[in-house]
Amino acid sequence: MDISLNEIEKFMPEMEINMTRSTSALQDRKNANNRIKRMKLSNIVAKNILFLFAIVTILTTIGIIISLLKDSIGFFEEIPIKDFLFGRVWTPLFSEPEFGVLPLVCGTLLITLISAVISIPIGLFTAIYLSEYANKRVRKIIKPILEVLAGIPSIVFGYFALTTITPFLKGIIPQTEIFNALSASIAIGVMTIPLVSSLSEDALRAVPDSLRQGALALGSTKMETSLKVVVPAAISGISASFVLAISRAIGETMIVTIAAGARPNLTFNPLESVQTMTSFIVQASQGDNPHGTVGYYSLFAVGLLLFLITLGLNILSHYMVDKYRKEY
């Protein structure tokens, strides 16, 4: 069949359009492939960077453990573990030193327990109020105040305890010593309130609203719904906040160093001066113990014991979260 020149010229625009579309489709496919390659490369880079950060964290933890173990061995070569854990006298700087850590452990637990009595109830009921009762306007006022309280340096709380709380306690109870466990415990309790309230509120707000509506529909009051339905449903997160607050109190350094004193005292009287494990570490790191002596190595032995206690509390926290976790 013969095709005339006019017919060819007639179909030329359509052919050019088809060729343009084909070229455009090829270019789009090429661009899509390049974009997929870039996405895969960025994912690989991001994965490796995050893995590197995780490895740095793990290696740092392993380095801390090795450092504590290595220097603690020098201490336990001289002092039996039994005498260290159950001895009742702690005088590492005396001419005849004693290394019974019970006074430090007792002071630490005393301050921790009193601070927990303050922070846990106040923090929990604050969280219940913010989650179940407060409107948005009130929440916008209280939440920033708690955040400011959480951001105050611990050394400020320490001087607040020494210059304000202690004189107040002496006015009520004259036999209160200048450096005492009670004022330090109150300051630590106030400091850890935002930790308990924030984590507990998050746990309470994660409870499905259908549980609240069901309890109210069955005739429960707002308080009964909060305490008997919402709190038990969020008990895993709430208990974790309690354990973390206790761990924070055990590891606190500046407040106890400033307000509680530096006298290793095996007592349960909060009005007397005590020394905690963290405050001893501060004292020992100031150079009073010559390097290589048993007193110097006692710093790492106490640090190792403190590490094991906080590690045990963290394990307990994870266990409680896993045991009481509820899925909705």
How much of the chain exceeds pLDDT 90, in percent?
26
pLDDT beyond 70 at 311: yes
- Can you name the CATH fold of 82-324? MetI-like fold (1.10.3720)
- Which residue type does 119 have? S
1 confidence band (pLDDT: 50, 70, 90): very low
pLDDT beyond 60 at 176: yes
Helix (H, G, I), strand (E, B) or coil at 251: helix
C-alpha to C-alpha distance for 288 and 97, rounded to whole angstroms = 14
Among 32-41, 175-184, 266-275, name the one with the lowest average pLDDT: 32-41
C-alpha to C-alpha distance for 230 and 201, rounded to whole angstroms = 11
What is the mean predicted confidence (pLDDT) over 253-271?
A: 89
How much of the chain exceeds pLDDT 70, in percent?
89
Q: What is the pLDDT of residue 256?
A: 92
pLDDT digits (tens, 9 = 90+) for 129-138: 988 888 888 8
Closest CA to 226 of 127, 118, 122, 326: 127
Q: How is the chain split into domains, by residue range?
A: 1-77, 82-324
pLDDT digits (tens, 9 = 90+) for 145-162: 888 888 888 899 999 999
pLDDT beyond 80 at 208: yes
Closest CA to 248 of 131, 120, 147: 120
Could you give the C-alpha distances from 241 to 20, 202, 227, 285, in angstroms and in order? 65, 10, 17, 31
Q: DSSP letter at 98?
A: E
Query: The tokens of 84 are what?
Result: 């260290």
Contact 180, 169 (CB under 8 A): yes
Radius of gyration for the alpha carbons in the chain, expressed in angstroms and rounded:
32
pTM of model > 0.75: yes
What is the mean predicted confidence (pLDDT) over 74-95?
A: 85
